Structure formats: structure tokens, C-alpha cells
Amino acid sequence: MSKNELRIIARIMLISIGLYVLLQTFLTALSSIATLPILASAQIKEMPLIITAICIYAVLALASVYFLIRCANRFSTKITEPEPVDDMQVSWLAIALRLICVSAGVLFLYWSVPNLIMTLYTYMIYKPYQHYMSPKSDIVKYVIMLGLSIYLASGAPRFVRWQVRKTLKQCSKIEEQQPSWR
């Protein structure tokens, strides 16, 4: 598989994730808008804050989708930068694993960032009642997930190197057991 083909696959994956985020944002915004009249009739004190949170979420999600689709070309070139190895097959394996990690990282970011914002927001609103709730553990959870997401989205270099090493080891072991496959 050529480098160009790999770059196209990377582009397809990034744009697919962007479209998935866009669809999910649209559905979430739709359900939020549907519940707004109910909340308005209940005359909730924090109504302006709720509307602000929905707007922030929508703007953040749309900005990240725009960024993902607009810069897909640049990202895909970065992901498919060749590894400093001579063997093309090893390089291909590393690039494919990196692509998997970046895709998982972007998905994790999408799953954890809105939740982190929401938890922080809940923490601020319900500060007087925090004895009954434990948003601190949720904040710690999302911060850990955010760290993990950023590591994966940056290509998880150590993990990829480790996985390539293990894969090659397993390949050579199996080839030793089945010499006819060589």
C-alpha cells in the first residue's frame, strides 16, 4: 500500500469521526432545544446558565468538527509521516497503529471534554449541596480520560513502538513454527 493510499485512508477516518461528532451534536442540540420549553415553564433560576452551557457545547463541537474537516489534509500527512525504519512493512504497520490511536484519541476527546465541562458546571451550580454529591471524583475521572485522550490523539508513540515490537516478535515466532509460510 502506497503512502498516498494511507493518507487517503487517514483522511477518510478523520472526516468520518468529524461527521459522527456533527451528527451527535445535532441530535443532542435537538433534544436540548426540545426540553427548553419545559424548563422555561418550570421557571428554573439557572435558565440563562443552561442556555449558555448548550451554546458553549454546540460552539465547541462545531469548531472542532470544522477544524477536523478543514485540517484533515494536514493531519493525515502528519499521521502518515514515515517511521525511521528501512522496512516498508514495519513502517506501514506503525502508521496504521498510529492512525488507530489518533482516531481513538479524537473519539475519547469527544466523549470526555463535554462531560468534563458539564461536571465542572454542575460543580459550580450545586456547590452548596456538594456534601450529597461527589463531583470531585467525576472531575478526576474526566481529567484522567482527557490526559489519555490527548496521549492517544498525539499518536501514542511509545505504545505504537511497543505494539510494533510485539507484533514482529509474534510474527517471527509463528514463522518459526510454520516455516512453509515464509
Residues of this chain that interact with other proteins (CB under 8 A) are 89, 93, 96-97, 100-101, 103-104, 107-108, 111-112, 134, 136-138, 140-142, 144-145, 148, 152, 163, 166-167, 170-171, 174-175, 178, 181-182
Instruction: Name which of 65 and 164 has its Cβ closer to other proteins.
Output: 164
Which among 59, 69, 52 has a CA at the least distance from the CA of 25?
A: 59
Q: How far is the CB of 180 from other proteins (least distance, A)?
A: 8
- Cβ-based nearer residue to other proteins, 57 or 142: 142
Nearer to other proteins, 35 or 137 (CB): 137
> To the nearest whole angstrom, how small is the minimum distance from the Cβ of residue 71 to other proteins?
23
Find the shortest distance in angstroms from Cβ 144 to other proteins. Answer: 6
Amino acid type, 127: K
DSSP summary character for residue 179: G
Nearer to other proteins, 35 or 172 (CB): 172
Give the chain's end-to-end CA distance (angstroms, integer).
Answer: 20
User: Strand (E) positions, the chain?
Assistant: none
The least CB distance from residue 140 to other proteins, in Å, is 6
Contacts of residue 157, Cβ cutoff 8 Å, sequence gap at least 6? none
> CB-based burial of residue 109 (10 Å sphere; 0-12 exposed, 13-18 middle, 19+ buried)?
buried
Q: What is the DSSP string of 11-23?
A: HHHHHHHHHHHHH
Residue placing its CB nearer to other proteins in the complex, 83 or 138: 138
Residue 7 has a CB neighbour count (10 Å cut-off) of 20
The least CB distance from residue 89 to other proteins, in Å, is 6
